[in-house]
Amino acid sequence: MSGTVAMHSVFVYGSLMADDVVRLLLNRIPLTASATLPDFHRFSIKGRVYPAILPAKSDKVSGKVLFGITDHELNVLDEFEDIEYERENVQVLLTDSSDEKLQTKTYVWAKKDDPDLYGTWDFEEWKQLHMEGFLKMTREFAEELNLPKSEI
């Protein structure tokens, strides 16, 4: 068996755009690049502080790609996103490098006809209103997974 480790890239568009959230989960900040996911829409969800994405023609979702994600880290992200999301392969445009296309993974809302989805989720508003509480929840989640404690 070879010692190579499979590396993944993951397009993130909600709370995982915040370095502090990623650091709590992965105990590091991976390399990132700004990216856009075409033909998807980022919804707010009633009663939740995080967003959902679903396919939507002629719309797009801005976010970023996390690079160099290991199998273990991908499993951590899978656990964090839980069963409400399905990990799917998508093609994004890297906005830092003249719209280079990249095949990557992302988390799509599993309930396609969810009546609780509405409007458009806003990252800056989330940072102001919800990030502090979300970091507390994320820290507790990370501790339950017995991840190494990160220095914040």
> 112: domain range?
8-145
In this prediction the pTM is 0.91
Give pLDDT, residue 1.
Answer: 44
Q: Is residue 139 part of a domain?
A: yes
CATH number at residue 94: 3.10.490.10
Mean pLDDT of 3-10: 78
Q: Say if residue 114 is exposed, middle or buried (CB neighbours under 10 Å; 0-12, 13-18, 19+).
A: middle
Sign of CA dihedral 115, 119, 124, 130: negative
pLDDT of residue 47: 95
How large is the average pLDDT for residues 46-56? Answer: 97
Confirm whether 151 is domain-assigned.
no
**Residue 124 bears catalytic tag:** no
Whether residue 88 has pLDDT greater than 70: yes
Q: Which of these is catalytic: 73, 81, 84, 144?
A: 81
Percent of the residues in the chain that have a pLDDT greater than 70, as a whole number = 91
How many domains does the chain fold into?
A: 1
